[in-house]
Amino acid sequence: MSKIWKLDNDIDTDIILPTEYLAFETVDEMKPYAFSPLRPELAGQIQPGDMIVAGNNFGCGSSREQAPEVVKALGISCIVAKSFARIFFRNAINNGLLLIEQPDLYDEVNEGDEAEVIPGKEIIVNGKSYPIASLPDNLTEILEAGGLVKAMRKRNGLD
């Protein structure tokens, strides 16, 4: 089961990780500042395995790949949103962070609810099932490998 942290519509990449922290050399140094313009305490509250539920257009804005990287580094198991901005979508998959589009969940769940995610099938929250689509095979391969670079290495027999 994953604990839900609920965020709004249009969560942009400057919210996910403000520019001033991009200069840090490691994602671990950036972690405490994730979501800090909106909810400074959130990064410290998230536990590995938790999930984020959001509205439309999650990840809009910059192409900074540190945004999905830092979310993954916090231990977020997946983000479920009504929709994702396209650059963030690619960047997240390329870093092995699962994103799920689901139109109804956001309106019906609360922060702190527990969810069970069955990839390619459904999300169960408060006894209710929310259907989810399967990802295309090429994206599943990338996710299962833990990201695009790892998938390339695996495909080429390097790992």
Partner 1 sequence: MGMTMAEKIIACAAGKESCRAGDIETVTLDRLMSNDGTTHLTIDMYNNLKNPHIADVDKLVWIIDHNIPADSPKTAASHKKMRDFARENGITFYEGEGVCHQVMMENHVRPGELIFGADSHTCAYGALGAFGTGVGCTDYLYAMVTGTSWLLVPETIRFNLTGSLKHGVYARDLILTIIGRISANGANYKAMEFAGEGLKGLSIADRISICNLCVEAGAKTALMEVDDVALDYLKEHGREPKAIYKSDDDAVFSEVFDIDLNEIEPIVAKPHFVDNVVPVKECEGIEIDEAFLGSCNNGRIEDLRVGASVIKGKHVADKVRFLVVPASREVYQQALKECLLDIFMDAGAMVMNPNCSVCWGACQGVIGEGETLISTGTRNFKGRAGHKDSFVYLASAATVTASAIKGYIVTADKI
For residue 26, state whether it binds partner 1 (rule: CB under 8 A). no
- Which CB atom, from 105 or from 125, has the smaller least distance to partner 1? 105
91 binds partner 1 (CB under 8 A): yes
Q: Nearer to partner 1 by C-beta: 74 or 81? A: 81
Q: Distance between CA atoms of 70 and 91, rounded to whole angstroms?
A: 12
Q: Among candidates 7, 159, 146, which has minimal Cα distance to 72?
A: 146
Percent of the chain that is helix, strand, coil (3-state, to 5) = 35, 20, 45
CB of 144 to partner 1, least distance (A): 16
Q: Among residues 36 and 140, whose Cβ is nearest to partner 1?
A: 36
**95 interacts with partner 1 by CB under 8 A:** yes
Residue with tokens 């257009």: 57
Contact status, residue 4 vs residue 110, Cβ threshold 8 Å: yes
Among 51, 85, 125, 143, binds partner 1 (CB under 8 A): 85
Q: Which stretch binds partner 1 (CB under 8 A): 44-52, 58-66, 70-78, 120-128?
A: 58-66
DSSP annotation of 121 reads T
Separation between Cα atoms, residue 141 and residue 94, nearest integer Å: 10
Among 107, 112, 127, 158, binds partner 1 (CB under 8 A): 158
By CB under 8 A, residue 149 contacts partner 1: yes
